Structure 1
Amino acid sequence: MNTKDEASAVLKKGTVSATRPGFARVRLPDFDNLRTMWLPVVYGKTQDDKECWTPDIGEQVAVLLDATGEDGVIIGALYSDADAPPTQNKEVWIKRFKDGAVLEYNRETHALTVTGVKAVTVHASGPVDVTAPEVTVTGNVTINGGLRVNGNINSSGSVIDSAGNTNHHRH
């Protein structure tokens, strides 16, 4: 039978020293810099719907350990003076990646912004619908398939078909 002391848990801060997807080892300064065994990282979903975001080596984390310090879980990463939050605006949800990519949603302006990415790919097994009062595309556009327009086409430049005919071509 476990005593109350054996069943208790302790919350500690530490620094990630090794990682693999879903797990990490942590150095614990409060325990003479002890390095934990592989501890699972707590995630929002792990069964039918899954997510995985491996902590970085050197990242400060909170660890919940059993009374012996031999088993536990990593319950999350912690901000510090050295690693400050990426925003001071409480209305902004943000994910900023090491390579400079940023996903940001602002509840006040109702704007979702994606910046710093090299490419965006969308694969859908059904239609993709974009609905907005106005859509602006900056850059060249390639359409690999038919094009149907239910409305007028206005062009400030030339319109040239594959035979070299323009919108000014007359028969």
Structure 2
Amino acid sequence: MKKAVVTHNFGATYQEGFVSQVDPKNHRVKVKIPTLEDFETAWLPFFTINAGGNQFYGLPDVGELVAMILDARGEGGYVLGSIYNSEDPTPVTDSEMWLHKFKNGTEISHNRKTGDVIVKTSGTVTVTAAQAVVNAPTEINGDTVINGSLHATGAITSATEVSAPSVKQGSVSLGSHVHTGVESGNKTSGTPKA
């Protein structure tokens, strides 16, 4: 059974403090409040945009500045979110940008003005789906491995050497086919055969 949050305590206060402990299993944090002589709160739920059928998970780091609402006794409440400050300044200064930046350097960004979406990471990007469709001219800068068949409905061109164990036109192999009606001189041989 879901536990409702009591909202009729009119003695609640707004406070700011630094995360001192993190509970990843229950999405909770403890916070030390400098203005209250570094009083450490009990475990408080950290606000998230979704927690039901749609879910979002993300916790602050220890030492991160956060805002919270506490009851009059400082025993209950919840953390509203993190606050940018001189130690943790905003990563961008453009109001058209949406950015999710991680401590390890990974970034996912969207520019509302240009429509650009950019993913930067030093790790592996894995997409698992029933089918992936890209409706755009596509450029790949790097080695590419295809573990499966490649089907093309348009022309395939190459500006460099193409290497393959076998190349076929229909049932005729480029490397192992034979010709019929071969004669000396400059006459044309018969059609190639497999």
The two structures have a TM-score, normalised by structure 2, of: 0.79
Q: Which residue of 2 aligns with 1:130?
A: 134
Q: How far off its partner does 1:79 sit?
A: 0.4
- 1:71-121 deviations in Å (ceiling 9; x for gaps): 010100000011110000110111111111111111111100111332110
Identity of aligned residues (%): 32
Aligned to 2:15: 12
Q: In 2, distance between residues paired with 1:6 and 1:121?
A: 47
2:102 alignment counterpart: 97
Q: Which ranges of structure 1 fall in alignment gaps of 5 or more residues?
A: none
Q: For 2:159, which of 156, 159, 165 is the aligned residue? A: 156
Amino acid at match of 2:143: N
What is the DSSP-based 3-state SS (H/G/I as helix, E as strand, rest coil) of the residue aligned with 1:147?
Answer: coil
1:20-39 map, 5 Å: 20-21=23-24, 22-39=27-44
Structure 2 distance, partners of 1:98, 1:166, is 51
Higher RCO, Cα 8 Å, sep 6+: 1
* One-letter amino acid matched to 2:96: E
Tell me whether 1:61 sits opposite 2:61 in the alignment.
Answer: no
Amino acid across the alignment from 1:85 = T
Between the two proteins, the alignment pairs up a number of residues equal to 163
What's the CA shift for 1:166?
Answer: 9.6
When residues 144 and 32 of structure 1 are mapped into structure 2, their CA distance, relative to the original with a 3 A threshold, is same
- Tell me, which stretches of 5 or more residues in structure 2 are unaligned? 1-7, 178-194
Deviation at 1:56, TM superposition (A): 0.2
Task: After superposition, give the CA deviation of every residue in 1:8-57 in whole Å (9 maximum; x if it has no partner).
Answer: 31110000000022110000112221100110001011111211111100
RMSD between superposed Cα atoms in Å: 1.9
Of 48, 53, 57 in structure 2, the residue corresponding to residue 48 of structure 1 is 53
Structure-1-length-normalised TM-score: 0.89
1:112 alignment partner, one of 113, 117, 128: 117
* Bigger Rg, structure 1 or 2: 2
**One-letter code aligned to 1:15:** F
Aligned residues of 1:159 and 1:166 also touching (Cα < 8 A): no
* One-letter amino acid of the counterpart of residue 110, structure 2: Y
Distance 1:49 1:79 in 2: 27
